[in-house]
């Protein structure tokens, strides 16, 4: 998941456990903005621990900065734990709701394709159907592309949620967070601030 | 016992050991100020501008090693603190800033003097709080001081709505005994044993090692440990500009400071070393220049309390996260008692071949002459503060610092206007010590309203203005980097600084030539109160050596030779 894209930007996936207090998201957003990182997707929800929320980010930016962002996040007082899981063995899912035009004529084919992709139809209107797609980003992307032929009216995506895979044997260790990120880290270049 | 929010704040400050508060009141913080007067153990220094309060608290914190405290009202009072907070943030200075806020009911309504100061200061504070309940005050203030002073120190802001200050609650004194517990905040202290061993191995194998000592050495007061390492393994020491005074400059192993306006021999030493032991510095761009060409011959050890600094600018072979003093305590016993005679001899040769501190022959009065004369007169024993610009670089270069933690300058932020308020803070921290501040005629005009505070409190600060009637460093850049395209660089309307001092009841002296230098310094030192000396210096002078921004030692310019 730590891919360098055609535009030279890197994407990394981070999971953070944060205090569920007002303003926490603003602090995190401020940090990303200040370090020049784009939040490509963000999913937030309650965790198994009281007062703590878990966030999954997909961060996008200059490879050196994105590789370092977990360490900057860790410094925020209200971030209890953070891991860059881009290079780990994780399961991740995203959910999308897609409203597609489905007229009398096209409806059977839309439903047929939905079935093939194991996508459920959650709402049916006179001229449209709304489907719920769960899966990895590729699956959602392909489904949306397939539906373009019929007319995609609205897309709503949750952003990725990710979790480390469990151990395969009882008593074994769950997929560990990479302890040191040194391997991912590329030091900055061109630091010239040009300031007096 | 029934207590008001204001009383809880004052009690908390006393318990945190606060002795001085720099501040200026306004409507939203008046409930707190109405209590402050009944706490004689808290000395309040009334400033003339809140930026002065924050920068004075910064100078106080650096000089004393304690948390500096400033206060301001909501809205413009609070926003006036921001430059000071940014200054402290960049240089890891422990501060607690307390601001008043409009009443809770008015928050979010664009009420008179309402500014979202916690929002505005997110990027320039280590942490900040908006306290919405009087019952949370005690714990919040305790937490704030803990965060400000531990780990990598920094400024923490506490915004308190006026009705939270005025609110009365039944207060249980047992509140104070509750320990601070922050799940997400566990700054490292001790270095990982394997990491320390790896660092020791590199040191023991090195033939041309150099120590790069940063502000971290000063913050953790690791002077003795640093000295032990340097002497035991005979390693030359260069400091960053903020690391100046971490190591005595009259020590044989002292090799100056490297970087943009550092000594050529210090930059060359880093470039030629086979090992750099970075202790509490952050490989800032003023030191590294072009990171791709920085010290390419050297392996690097980086000891830092902030894990986010490791590999940030420069990828290193041996990182150690931890408090510098602790880590050096772990490291020193593993380092072999040895020496590097050839290398040390080579450094001496570099010093001889590149006499960066030599002042060119001239009858003019140069900034360098002024600094040198004050350094000689005070025997390197003063506490020295500076503004930002050419005079700052001359001060850093030509004052010979003998004592630990005796140099206070805005390094990371480069805040013009630091010189007067920070000197005020340093003097209040050390009333018995001689404080000199080197000021620019530009920078001093940003905060000279604090002359009044200095006069009012009779603080015997000696203010040396290196007056070139211009923004000297801007002129230098326009000269060297912008093809002599001079614009907006000269100050033709400067005031008469001697008369200005006089207007504040401060002794003023003017010096226009080399001959008058010694006498004026003597006179200023003999005067028991504050003194402003207007040193009218030769203006057409650049600071050398210089490595232009983003370049490397290959582009080092040494025009003074
Ligand atoms: C608040 C602020 N504004 C602008 C600058 C940019 N700047 C850096 S040095 C300098 C000139 C400083 O002039 P002066 O205080 O007279 O010092 P000199 O260089 O002449 O010694 C300026 C404008 C700055 N560092 N800080
Ligand atoms: Mg000037």
Confidence of residue B438 (pLDDT cuts 50, 70, 90): very high
**Tens-place pLDDT, residues B386-421:** 999 999 999 999 999 999 999 999 999 999 999 999
Q: What is the DSSP secondary structure assignment for residue B268, as one 8-state letter?
A: H
Which residues on chain A are in Cβ contact (under 8 Å) with B550? 190-192, 194
Tokens representing B352 are: 């001889």
**With b meaning 16 or more CB within 10 Å and e meaning fewer, what string describes B396-419?**
bbbbbbbebbbbbbbbbbbbbbbb
Q: So what's the pLDDT on residue A165?
A: 86
Distance from residue B416's CA to the centre of ligand 1 (Å): 6
| Residue A186, pLDDT above cutoff 70 | no
Helix or strand (DSSP H, E) at A129: strand A128-135
Q: So what's the pLDDT on residue A175?
A: 60
Q: So what's the pLDDT on residue B122?
A: 97
| Residue B359, pLDDT above cutoff 70 | yes
Average pLDDT score over chain B: 97
Q: Residue B503: which of B557, B448, B547 has the closest Cα?
A: B448
Q: Tokens 């040193």 belong to which residue?
A: B535
Confidence of residue B517 (pLDDT cuts 50, 70, 90): very high
| Residue A182, pLDDT above cutoff 50 | no
* A71–chain B Cβ distance below 8 A for any pair: yes
**Tens-place pLDDT, residues A120-161:** 999 999 999 999 999 988 899 999 999 999 999 999 999 888
Across the interface, whether the CB atoms of B311 and A187 are under 8 A apart is answered yes
Strand A120-124 and strand A128-135: pairing? antiparallel
Q: Which of B182, B291, B313 sits opposite A77 (nearest CB)?
A: B182
Distance from residue B471's CA to the centre of ligand 1 (Å): 6
B426 lines ligand 1 (CB under 6 A): no
Pocket probe mutation, ligand 1, options B388, B475, B540, max atoms within 8 Å of Cβ: B388
Distance CA B560, CA B356 (A): 7
Query: What's the gap between Cα B101 and its chain centre?
Result: 29
Distance from residue B443's CA to the centre of ligand 1 (Å): 6
B545 lines ligand 1 (CB under 6 A): no
Which residues on chain A are in Cβ contact (under 8 Å) with B259? none
* A126–chain B Cβ distance below 8 A for any pair: no
* Three-state SS at B48: coil
Across the interface, whether the CB atoms of B184 and A192 are under 8 A apart is answered no
Q: So what's the pLDDT on residue A22?
A: 87
Q: CA-nearest residue of chain A to B131?
A: A22
Give, to the nearest 10 degrees, the angle between helix A63-75 and helix A24-34.
Answer: 150
| Residue A178, pLDDT above cutoff 60 | no
* B288–chain A Cβ distance below 8 A for any pair: yes
Residue nearest to atom 17 of ligand 1 (CA): B440
Across the interface, whether the CB atoms of B311 and A185 are under 8 A apart is answered yes
| Residue B428, pLDDT above cutoff 80 | yes
User: Nearest CA of chain B to the CA of A191: how many Å?
Assistant: 6
Distance from residue B469's CA to the centre of ligand 2 (Å): 5
Ligand nearest to the CA of B469: 2
Domains of chain A: 3-88 (3.30.70.260), 91-157 (3.30.70.1150)
What would you measure as the largest C-alpha separation in chain A, in angstroms?
69
Strand B68-72 and strand A90-101: pairing? unpaired
**With b meaning 16 or more CB within 10 Å and e meaning fewer, what string describes B233-246?**
bbbbbbbbbbbbbb
* Three-state SS at B95: strand
Q: Which residues contact A116 (CB under 8 A, 6 or more apart)?
A: none
Q: Which of residues 192-231 of B touch A (CB under 8 A)?
A: none
Distance CA B16, CA B144 (A): 10
Distance from residue B470's CA to the centre of ligand 1 (Å): 9
Residue nearest to atom 3 of ligand 1 (CA): B416
Which residues place a Cβ less than 5 A from the ion ligand 2? B 440-442, 468, 472
Across the interface, whether the CB atoms of B312 and A78 are under 8 A apart is answered no
* A79–chain B Cβ distance below 8 A for any pair: yes
Q: Which residues contact B348 (CB under 8 A, 6 or more apart)?
A: none
Distance CA B372, CA B514 (A): 11
**Tens-place pLDDT, residues B158-181:** 999 999 999 999 999 999 999 999
Distance CA B502, CA A17 (A): 59
B55 lines ligand 1 (CB under 6 A): no
Residue nearest to atom 7 of ligand 1 (CA): A196
DSSP E strands in B134-208: the ranges are 155-161, 168-170
Yes or no: say if B97 and B85 are a contact pair by the CB < 8 Å rule: yes
Task: Give CA torsion, residues B506, B512, B518, B522, to 10 deg.
Answer: -10
Mean pLDDT of B458-479: 97
Across the interface, whether the CB atoms of A188 and B312 are under 8 A apart is answered yes
**Tens-place pLDDT, residues A76-109:** 999 999 999 988 888 889 999 999 999 999 999 9
**Tens-place pLDDT, residues B29-42:** 999 999 999 999 99
Give, to the nearest 10 degrees, the angle between helix A137-147 and helix A107-116.
Answer: 160
Q: So what's the pLDDT on residue A1?
A: 46
Domains of chain B: 2-177 (3.40.50.970), 193-353 (3.40.50.1220), 367-543 (3.40.50.970)
Q: Residue B545: which of B297, B314, B283, B268 has the closest Cα?
A: B268
Distance from residue B83's CA to the centre of ligand 1 (Å): 14
Q: CA-nearest residue of chain B to A191?
A: B285
Q: Residue B405: which of B124, B217, B165 has the closest Cα?
A: B217
Distance CA B186, CA B150 (A): 9
Q: Where are the alpha helices (DSSP H) in B174-222?
A: 193-205, 215-219
Q: Between A and B, how many residue pairs show a Cβ–Cβ distance under 8 A?
A: 77
Query: What's the gap between Cα B253 and its chain centre?
Result: 24
Q: Residue B26: which of B87, B79, B104, B69 has the closest Cα?
A: B79
Measured from the Cβ of residue B105, the count of other Cβ atoms closer than 10 Å reads 10
Radius of gyration of chain A (CA): 20
B354 lines ligand 1 (CB under 6 A): no
Which residues on chain A are in Cβ contact (under 8 Å) with B194? none
Tokens representing B446 are: 């940003």
User: Nearest CA of chain A to the CA of B152: how many Å?
Assistant: 10
Tokens representing B471 are: 């923004």
* A19–chain B Cβ distance below 8 A for any pair: yes
Ligand nearest to the CA of B90: 1
Q: What are phi and psi of A11, to 5 degrees?
A: -115, 135
> Which is the closest atom of ligand 1 to the Cα of B491?
16
Q: So what's the pLDDT on residue B561?
A: 53
Measured from the Cβ of residue B341, the count of other Cβ atoms closer than 10 Å reads 8
- In percent, the amount of chain B with pLDDT more than 70 equals 100
Mean pLDDT of B122-136: 98
Q: So what's the pLDDT on residue A8?
A: 85
Q: How far is CA B424 from CA B14, B56, B60, B406, B463, in A?
A: 22, 6, 8, 14, 10
* Three-state SS at A122: strand
**Tens-place pLDDT, residues A131-141:** 999 998 889 99
Yes or no: say if B287 and B266 are a contact pair by the CB < 8 Å rule: no
* A176–chain B Cβ distance below 8 A for any pair: no
| Residue A179, pLDDT above cutoff 70 | no
| Residue A177, pLDDT above cutoff 50 | no
Q: Which of A31, A76, A192 sits opposite B285 (nearest CB)?
A: A192
Q: Which residues contact B85 (CB under 8 A, 6 or more apart)?
A: B54, B95, B97, B121, B124, B125, B155, B157
């Amino acid at each position: 998941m730590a891919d360098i894209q055609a535009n030279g930007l890197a994407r990394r996936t981070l999971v953070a456990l944060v205090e569920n207090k007002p303003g926490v998201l603003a602090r995190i957003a401020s940090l990303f903005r200040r370090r020049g990182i784009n939040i490509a997707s963000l999913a937030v929800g309650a965790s198994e621990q009281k007062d703590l929320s878990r966030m999954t980010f997909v961060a996008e930016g200059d490879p050196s900065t994105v590789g370092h962002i977990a360490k900057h996040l860790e410094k925020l007082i209200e971030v209890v734990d953070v891991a860059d899981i881009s290079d780990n063995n994780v399961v991740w899912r995203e959910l999308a709701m897609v409203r597609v035009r489905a007229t009398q004529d096209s409806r059977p084919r839309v439903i047929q394709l939905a079935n093939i992709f194991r996508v459920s139809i959650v709402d049916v209107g006179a001229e449209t159907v709304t489907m719920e797609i769960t899966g990895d980003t590729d699956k959602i992307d392909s489904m949306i592309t397939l539906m373009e032929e019929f007319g995609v009216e609205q897309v709503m995506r949750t952003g990725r949620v990710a979790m480390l895979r469990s151990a395969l044997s009882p008593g074994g260790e769950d997929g560990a967070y990479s302890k040191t990120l040194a391997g991912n880290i590329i030091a900055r270049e061109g630091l010239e601030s040009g300031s007096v | 016992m029934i207590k008001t929010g204001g009383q809880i704040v004052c009690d908390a400050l006393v318990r945190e050991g606060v002795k001085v508060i720099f501040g200026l009141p306004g409507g939203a913080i008046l409930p707190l100020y109405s209590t402050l007067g009944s706490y004689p153990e808290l000395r309040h220094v009334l400033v003339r501008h809140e930026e002065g309060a924050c920068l004075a608290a910064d100078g106080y914190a650096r000089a004393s090693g304690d948390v500096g405290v400033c206060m301001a009202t909501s809205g413009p009072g609070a926003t006036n603190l921001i430059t000071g907070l940014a200054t402290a943030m960049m240089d890891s200075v422990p501060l607690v800033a307390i601001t008043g806020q409009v009443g809770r009911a008015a928050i979010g309504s664009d009420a008179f003097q309402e500014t979202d100061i916690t929002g505005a200061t997110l990027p320039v504070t280590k942490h900040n709080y908006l306290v919405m309940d009087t019952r949370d005050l005690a714990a919040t203030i305790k937490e704030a001081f803990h965060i400000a002073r531990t780990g990598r120190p920094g400024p923490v802001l506490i915004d308190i709505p006026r009705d939270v200050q005025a609110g009365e609650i039944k207060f249980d004194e047992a509140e104070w005994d509750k320990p601070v517990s922050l799940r997400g905040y566990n700054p490292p202290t001790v270095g990982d044993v394997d990491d320390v061993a790896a660092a020791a191995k590199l040191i023991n194998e090195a033939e041309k090692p150099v120590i790069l000592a940063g502000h971290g050495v000063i913050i953790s007061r690791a002077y003795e440990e640093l000295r032990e390492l340097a002497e035991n393994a005979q390693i030359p020491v260069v400091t960053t500009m903020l690391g100046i005074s971490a190591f005595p400059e009259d020590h044989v192993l002292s090799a100056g400071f490297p970087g943009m306006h550092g000594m050529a021999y210090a930059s060359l030493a880093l470039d030629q070393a086979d090992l750099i032991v970075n202790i509490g510095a952050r490989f800032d761009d003023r030191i590294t220049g072009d990171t791709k060409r920085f010290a390419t011959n050297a392996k690097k050890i980086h000891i830092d309390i902030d894990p986010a600094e490791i590999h940030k600018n420069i990828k290193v072979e041996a990182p150690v996260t931890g408090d510098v003093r602790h880590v050096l305590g772990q490291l020193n016993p593993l380092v072999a008692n040895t020496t590097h005679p050839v290398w040390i001899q080579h450094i001496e040769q570099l010093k001889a071949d590149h006499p960066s501190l030599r002042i060119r022959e001239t009858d003019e009065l140069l900034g360098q002459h002024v600094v040198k004369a004050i350094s000689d007169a005070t025997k390197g024993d003063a506490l020295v503060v500076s503004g930002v610009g050419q005079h700052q670089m001359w001060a850093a270069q030509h004052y010979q610092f003998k004592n630990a933690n005796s140099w206070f300058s805005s390094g990371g932020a480069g805040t013009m206007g630091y010189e007067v308020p920070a000197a005020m803070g340093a003097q209040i921290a050390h009333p018995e010590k001689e404080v000199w501040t080197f000021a620019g005629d530009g920078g001093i005009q940003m905060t000279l309203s604090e002359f009044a505070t200095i006069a009012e409190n009779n603080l015997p600060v000696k203010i040396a203005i290196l007056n070139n009637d211009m923004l000297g460093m801007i002129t230098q850049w326009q000269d060297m980097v912008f093809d002599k395209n001079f614009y907006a660089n000269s100050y033709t309307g400067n005031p008469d600084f001697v008369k200005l001092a006089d207007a504040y009841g401060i002794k003023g002296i003017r010096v226009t030539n080399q001959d008058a230098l010694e006498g004026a310094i003597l006179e200023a030192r003999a005067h028991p109160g504050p003194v402003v000396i207007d040193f009218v210096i030769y203006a057409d002078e650049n600071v050398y050596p210089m490595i232009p921004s983003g370049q490397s030692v290959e582009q080092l310019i040494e025009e003074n030779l």
